Amino acid sequence: MRRILSWAPTNKNVQSSSVVTNDPVMKVMVEQPKFAVPQKDMAPTFWDPMGNLGNKVMSCSDPADDAYFKNLIKTTVANVRDEPEADYPMISGLYSTEDGIEIYWRGVSDAYAYRVFYRGSNGWKRLGDTRSTHLTDTVVSFGKTYNYTVRCIDRYGNYTSDYYSPGWYGTYAAEVPEITSLTSNASGITIKWYPVYGVQKYRVYYKNSNGEWRSFSNDVTGTSMTDSGVKYGRKETYTIRALDKNGRVISGYDPDGWSTTYGIATPGITSLTSDENGITIKWNSVYGAAKYRVYYKNASGDWRSFSTDVTGTSMVDKAVRYGRSETYTVRAVNYKGDVMSGYVSAGSSTVYGVATPNITSLKNTSDGIKITWNKISGVSTYRVYYKNSSGEWRSFKTDVTGTAMTDTAVKQGRSETYTVRALDKNGNTISDYNHSGSTIVYQKP
């Protein structure tokens, strides 16, 4: 035999408790704090076989000294009842899954099989037989409460045990799915949630402009999906319900939902570099961006985007002029070509141009005067100038690829003055020059 007892606290600082005894000295199994015996500030309660109404209910063996046991607990225990300790199966769990309510019970020694019952309108009805210690009731509806009990049977279907007549109750409702993250990326907003035990499919809802919940057109197998119908800067709110295998809801939902505003970090320009190709614009990579849209300020100071979005984190503006200031900014773009980030409204500016080449040597040779200058980063072509008899700068007919050339049109004893400018690939000057120039008198070796 076994004895069932429980009590509930009247003091809010004392938790519900129960006892298990196997000898005249009480052994107590309670949540913290622990008590040696039931306390005076505990008021009676009734036994809840499901153990889910706030009272921690456990079973206890009948001690040898029954009178001692009764005297010890008579002032605090509302309900003490003797029942067979192993005469019938005890249901240990009722779990809502996509298949229905899974019923689990503790096995009985020497039982051949079990018959599970549910309570119908006219009493207990047979649900099914099994040799295992669990069975699933598949004919259930969300939110409805069901009552079950179990008996042992032999190989011929004859009962070999009693059963617990009140049964165990369970409401068919899976756990409410909980969203774990909302992440903006190039595809939209990716929604992720915790898996619910026994569930494979989910229905995801969003709030429309009227604040009403609407479900997406397709249910989801798994624990994530991406909402592609989003716009930068717009707040989106989501919630989720679990489904059974037939697509029927089997859980509640969070009525407030989880919210986020669609958008990712703003790209920042890291460098603006002038070279013979133009101005190279570089910016930092932003997580979640598919491409980037680069903007420049026109003559009126308005932002205009370049015709093509950029895959990567750099581009070259070729439509620039030496000495003119250029201003740029960048936004992230998703796969549909919609902007998905802010931008730096002030932009980043630079004046187009490279460093001024400086002549490093003028050397008289038998062929003429050899002119050498320093290399400028990003430049391969240079224009060399000389001063004519009137003191005006004139360029040589041919531009130079490299950093040296020889002026063969020289005369013995005549003074010559030179300077150099860098060029872009279209032959436009992109640097200043040494306005005084460098001078030498030609003396043939």
Enter the pTM of the model. 0.67
Using DSSP's 3-state secondary structure scheme, residue 68 falls into: helix
Q: What distances in angstroms separate CA 47 from CA 18, 54, 377, one per listed residue? A: 10, 11, 87
Q: Are residues 72 and 130 in the same domain?
A: no
Instruction: Say if 339 falls within a structural domain.
Output: yes
In a domain, 383, yes or no: yes
Q: Tell me if 15 is assigned to some domain.
A: yes
Question: Do 339 and 373 lie in a common domain?
Answer: no
* Residue ranges making up the domain that contains 66: 2-83
Domain count, the chain: 5
Q: Answer whether 96's CB lies under 8 Å from 173's CB.
A: yes
Residue that is last in its domain, among 295, 330, 351 = 351
DSSP for 244-295 reads: -TTS-B-B---SS-EEEE--BPPP-EEEEEEETTEEEEEE---TT-SEEEEE
The predicted pLDDT at position 87 comes to 80
Report the distance separating Cα 220 and Cα 243, nearest Å. Answer: 9
Dihedral sign of CA atoms 15, 18, 20, 26 in order: positive
Distance, in Å, from the CA atom of 416 to the CA atom of 413, rounded to the nearest integer, reads: 9
d(C-alpha 178, C-alpha 442), whole Å: 88
CATH number at residue 200: 2.60.40.10
Q: Could you tell me if 74 and 117 lie in one domain? A: no
- 345 is a domain residue: yes
**Does a structural domain hold residue 182?**
no
Considering the domain architecture, whether residues 340 and 382 belong to the same structural domain is answered as: no
23 is a domain residue: yes
**Is 347 within the bounds of a domain?**
yes
Q: Quick one: pLDDT at residue 242?
A: 97
| Residuewise pLDDT in 10s, the chain (445 residues) | 343 343 333 333 333 333 333 333 333 222 223 333 333 333 333 233 333 333 333 333 334 444 444 443 433 333 334 444 448 999 999 999 999 999 999 999 889 999 999 999 999 999 999 999 999 999 999 999 999 999 999 999 999 999 999 999 999 999 999 999 999 999 999 999 999 999 999 999 999 999 999 999 999 999 999 999 999 999 999 999 999 999 999 999 999 999 999 999 999 999 999 999 999 999 999 999 999 999 999 999 999 999 999 999 999 999 999 999 999 999 999 999 999 999 999 999 999 999 999 999 999 999 999 999 999 999 999 999 999 999 999 999 999 999 999 999 999 999 999 999 999 999 999 999 999 999 999 999 9
